[in-house]
Amino acid sequence: MCRVQSLSPTEYLEHNYERLVRELCAYIRFPSVSAQPQHAKDLAACAQWVVDHCKKIGLDARLCKTEGNPIVLAKTPRKAGSKKPHYVVYGHYDVQPPEPFELWKTPPFEPRIEGDSLFARGSSDNKGQNFAHLSAVEAYLKTGTELPCDITFLIEGEEEVGSKSLDGFLRANKKELACEAFVISDTGMPSLKHPALTYALRGIISAEIILHGPSRDLHSGIYGGTVDNPAMALAQLLAQLRDKNGKIAIPGFYYDVESLSAYERKEMAKMPMTEKQYQQFMGVPKLFGEKGYTFIEQRSARPTIEINGLTSGYQGEGSKTIVPAWARAKLTFRLVPNQKPDKIRKAVLKRIAELCPPTVRLEMKVGHGGEPYIVSPKSDIAQAALRTLKAAFGCEPMLMREGGSIPIVTQFKNVIGADSLLLGLALPDDNAHSPNEKFSLDAFKKGMRMGALLWPELAKLKRK
Amino acid sequence: MCRVQSLSPTEYLEHNYERLVRELCAYIRFPSVSAQPQHAKDLAACAQWVVDHCKKIGLDARLCKTEGNPIVLAKTPRKAGSKKPHYVVYGHYDVQPPEPFELWKTPPFEPRIEGDSLFARGSSDNKGQNFAHLSAVEAYLKTGTELPCDITFLIEGEEEVGSKSLDGFLRANKKELACEAFVISDTGMPSLKHPALTYALRGIISAEIILHGPSRDLHSGIYGGTVDNPAMALAQLLAQLRDKNGKIAIPGFYYDVESLSAYERKEMAKMPMTEKQYQQFMGVPKLFGEKGYTFIEQRSARPTIEINGLTSGYQGEGSKTIVPAWARAKLTFRLVPNQKPDKIRKAVLKRIAELCPPTVRLEMKVGHGGEPYIVSPKSDIAQAALRTLKAAFGCEPMLMREGGSIPIVTQFKNVIGADSLLLGLALPDDNAHSPNEKFSLDAFKKGMRMGALLWPELAKLKRK
């Protein structure tokens, strides 16, 4: 690992590939399961390993204490008053619980290579993906190639349990973390031939409705027919929230929705999956979504209403002849760019209150909210990312929207004021959060190359 | 307890009142809880006590073994080839579990008299009510007054656990039990000033609907918007089964419903309870039922649809962002006289299948059914019962319909071919099945009188 002045960073990565895989395996061996208290020591040891590794490759690294698991901060060496653009690469060293163990072909924390795949918990989510970036920067530092950007790695240990300490950390280190943008490889791409930039995420609001009827479960024979059945009242209320075309029937709900551009729809249509394949994957007799949109658009670029749970009356085997005292629905709405969670929440609650009949008492509980997120796919930074993907993977990249929410992206935007480039390296069959998680070594190779090619591209951009 | 030839049966009951209460208390002291295996011996001892008591008062009594708890059969002495009409008085010596003990003011099997009330488990349901009939017949036998009817007491020990052995017993003893009618005091009356004949019961059918959507719970962010939400599909299906006027929206559902006569509606309107009182008792903000009917009619003489339970997706605290794989509703429909359970079940299942969208897979489970029951309130036997009630209670009796089902009544009709006279002595505040069950001693007194006056009235009727 001496400096090899004659190699370019990408050549360095090729020459050192096998060692880098071995180092990634060492990283993966830590059972850094943040959800399980018995792994506290493993998380601490893993964080220390990351710091040591960062130091070894030439970064100024330190372990930052938080109220939870420590955060690793590692910076490329920089001169005082550096004029280079500053980017922060985000990652996380904690992993999902490995259970159920019996479904793993080999132990989750003993990395196993089979064909192109590296099997282990955390291999894809997120150690492998993040390690590609670390290795790319190592390639600059070890070949003595000047990095055209200042780079800071922010690697946390609580991503799988809600990143509880991150917000405080961002606020406390706001100045040090001020940057052009965050670079995150923690999402997916459709295939190795379809590298992707994820440029938009959906937001969310959640709510709980409880309709209270009689003061106790009633005998449906003695009293049935004289009071409204809260479960029926709930069904009739919920039924009115979505029309037969899959549209959300709440006044004002679509008012702020940013419509999809022709460019975006064309890009989304490149997704290598047919409706039939998707239907079979979902296991449904027939797909259903908002009329006028493809399933790709429906699941990522259009807002939704979902009932996440229904509870009322008797839940066991057989029948119990009661009029239940109450009925509950848990709801979430996915929001798309330009919709405001607070505004939508108000519209939702207002409509529910209007629809509630006078025969039951309405109780509403408001849950968490998350803003939708978008970086214009035609922006300079998005285009720079697309050029990088094309060069690294040797094929046309895709523009993707993600249907879920990534709360840290909103935090980066709100606290630091910077956008995020989401350059996911996970493949659809990587089994993130499931048994037999794996990471494609080809994706690792190309991901490192992407990491190396990214900095010159980003350095060309006009500064914020 | 010597024969007192100078007393009439009703005088005998007055003279012996205190002793009869003591004997009832002895009967009640058996913790004959049929639902709890640890009380098997108590049930056997209680049944034997009933046989012994019946013999003591002059009945030919025997204990009949069944696969469950024994049945007591006790007959008034009769001559071979008796031409008297034969009636069977039904009762049960088993009781509901007393739990929760901590809510009882005094131990459930230690009878306590406070004012007009005799507190104990089983005091009202059904030992006290049935003992009134036993005592009335004792009065005939002990005063040497000739009974104008042959009477058989059928007292079982499994009523609170579904009368499992009764059907077989009826079939095995069909000839011996052939009768003009069954007499049952095991229901209620509105107040001591409103003695009542219950002349109709509702029937029931039950069904379970499960809508299957995706093959597993889906992440509502990644996939939401592309598949139907089974909970929403269920809500929209259920919502269409009941219209805004509280009518069941199933073709053919009302086709066979026997409409209420003006006479019945006038009788039902005598119920001593206002809509406001009833609403407060139910604890609902507003009553709701089928338009065009009073709450008394709605709860006893009109068919209903009830959702007894809803289950789908996440049931715990907070939110879980999923599209649930399935959603389930448990349904019961109460039926009224002339509706046929099988016919209605078919109509219900057909309509549900029609309403089910192609985006989910429908699974239906059919549950138990029970026929509605009615004895014409203008029939000779009903009028005889009303005359008896008037004479026994000294006030105008009411005609009542019961909203629930009493399976044994259907069994008596189907196996023996006889109607039942339901002459309930329980008051609304008797706490049957609840802690601090009580029986009104005034109801006991008047119930015994009713029992004594009933036989001459029934003897006058034309034979079947």
pLDDT tens-digit readout, A258-271: 999 999 999 999 98
Nearest CA among B350, B441, B290 for reference residue A224:
B290
pLDDT score recorded for residue A162: 86
Strands B181-184 and B112-114: unpaired
Within 13 A of A79's CA, how many CA atoms are on the CB side? Answer: 7
Write the ipTM: 0.88
Q: Quick check: B59 and B150 in contact, CB under 8 A?
A: no
Distance from CA of A304 to the nearest CA of B (A): 6
DSSP per-residue string spanning A160-223: GGT-TTHHHHHHHTHHHH--SEEEE--SB-SBTTB-EEEEEE-EEEEEEEEEE-SSS-EETTTT
Residue A162's alpha-carbon distances to A34, A94, A129, A157, B309, in angstroms, are: 10, 11, 19, 10, 34
Q: Which residue of B has its CA nearest to A279?
A: B227
pLDDT at B1 over 90: no
Selecting from B287, B327, B359 the residue whose C-beta is nearest the C-beta of A284 gives B359
Lowest mean pLDDT among A314-328, B127-141, B169-183: A314-328
Joined together, the tokens standing for residue B27 give 């009967």
Residue range B277-296: average pLDDT?
96
A chain contacts of residue B310, beta-carbon cutoff 8 Å: 231, 234-235, 310-313, 327
Average pLDDT, chain B: 95
Distance from CA of B253 to the nearest CA of A (A): 15
In this prediction, what percent of chain B has a pLDDT beyond 90?
90
Q: Which residue of A has its CA nearest to B221?
A: A404
Give B319's pLDDT tier (boundaries 50, 70, 90): confident
Selecting from A216, A223, A229 the residue whose C-beta is nearest the C-beta of B307 gives A229
Residue segments in chain A with a per-residue pLDDT below the cut of 50: none
User: How far apart, in whole angstroms, are the C-alpha atoms of residue B442 and residue B189?
Assistant: 13
Give B5's pLDDT tier (boundaries 50, 70, 90): low
Q: Mutation test of the interface with chain A: which of B243, B260, B307, choosing the one with the most A Cβ atoms within 10 A?
A: B307
Domain map (residue ranges) of chain A: 9-200+373-459, 203-257+303-369
Given an 8 Å threshold on Cβ–Cβ distance, is B310 in contact with A327? yes
B chain contacts of residue A402, beta-carbon cutoff 8 Å: 221-222
Distance from CA of A190 to the nearest CA of B (A): 13
Selecting from A227, A234, A278 the residue whose C-beta is nearest the C-beta of B282 gives A227
Q: Mutation test of the interface with chain B: which of A226, A232, A402, A406, choosing the one with the most B Cβ atoms within 10 A?
A: A226
Given an 8 Å threshold on Cβ–Cβ distance, is B358 in contact with A306? no
What is the enclosing helix (H) or strand (E) of B62? strand B60-64
Given an 8 Å threshold on Cβ–Cβ distance, is B231 in contact with A295? no
Nearest CA among A405, A406, A414 for reference residue A90:
A406
The residues, ordered by sequence, that sit 6+ positions from A129 with a Cβ below 8 Å of its Cβ are: A91, A185, A186, A424, A425, A426, A439, A447
The backbone torsions φ and ψ at residue B210, rounded to the nearest 5 degrees and listed phi first, read -125, 125
pLDDT score recorded for residue A385: 97
- The end-to-end CA distance of chain B, in Å, is 36
Given an 8 Å threshold on Cβ–Cβ distance, is A332 in contact with B313? no
pLDDT score recorded for residue B99: 85
In Å, how far from its chain's centre is CA A319?
Answer: 42
pLDDT at B456 over 60: yes
Supply the Cα-derived Rg of chain A in whole angstroms. Answer: 25
Residue A147's alpha-carbon distances to A444, A462, B45, B392, in angstroms, are: 21, 17, 95, 106
B chain contacts of residue A242, beta-carbon cutoff 8 Å: 232, 236
Residue range B344-349: average pLDDT?
97
Given an 8 Å threshold on Cβ–Cβ distance, is B220 in contact with A304? yes
Torsion angle of the four alpha carbons B284, B286, B291, B297, in this order, in degrees rounded to the nearest 10 = 50
| CATH superfamily assigned to domain B9-200+373-459 | Zn peptidases (3.40.630.10)
pLDDT tens digits, A365-382: 988 788 999 999 999 999
Torsion angle of the four alpha carbons A158, A160, A164, A170, in this order, in degrees rounded to the nearest 10 = 60
Given an 8 Å threshold on Cβ–Cβ distance, is B282 in contact with A215? yes
User: How far apart, in whole angstroms, are the C-alpha atoms of residue B285 and residue B287?
Assistant: 7
pLDDT at B4 over 70: no
The CATH number corresponding to B203-257+303-369 among 3.30.70.360, 3.30.505.10, 3.40.640.10, 3.90.79.10 equals 3.30.70.360
Give B3's pLDDT tier (boundaries 50, 70, 90): low
B chain contacts of residue A312, beta-carbon cutoff 8 Å: 307, 309-310
pLDDT at B162 over 90: no
What is the enclosing helix (H) or strand (E) of A305? strand A304-313
pLDDT score recorded for residue B434: 87
Nearest CA among B65, B67, B68, B24 for reference residue B48:
B65
pLDDT score recorded for residue A317: 85
pLDDT tens digits, A388-417: 999 999 999 999 999 988 889 999 999 999
Distance from CA of B171 to the nearest CA of A (A): 28
User: How far apart, in whole angstroms, are the C-alpha atoms of residue B61 and residue B79?
Assistant: 16
The residues, ordered by sequence, that sit 6+ positions from A96 with a Cβ below 8 Å of its Cβ are: A33, A35, A121, A122, A125, A160, A432, A433, A437
Look up the pTM and report it. 0.88
Residue range B180-198: average pLDDT?
96
Given an 8 Å threshold on Cβ–Cβ distance, is A402 in contact with B232? no
Residue range B262-274: average pLDDT?
92
Selecting from B238, B309, B368 the residue whose C-beta is nearest the C-beta of A313 gives B309
B chain contacts of residue A310, beta-carbon cutoff 8 Å: 231, 234-235, 310-313, 327
Q: Mutation test of the interface with chain A: which of B227, B234, B300, choosing the one with the most A Cβ atoms within 10 A?
A: B227
Selecting from A208, A221, A330 the residue whose C-beta is nearest the C-beta of B202 gives A221
pLDDT score recorded for residue A3: 53
pLDDT tens digits, A84-143: 999 999 999 999 999 889 999 999 999 999 999 999 999 999 999 999 999 999 999 999
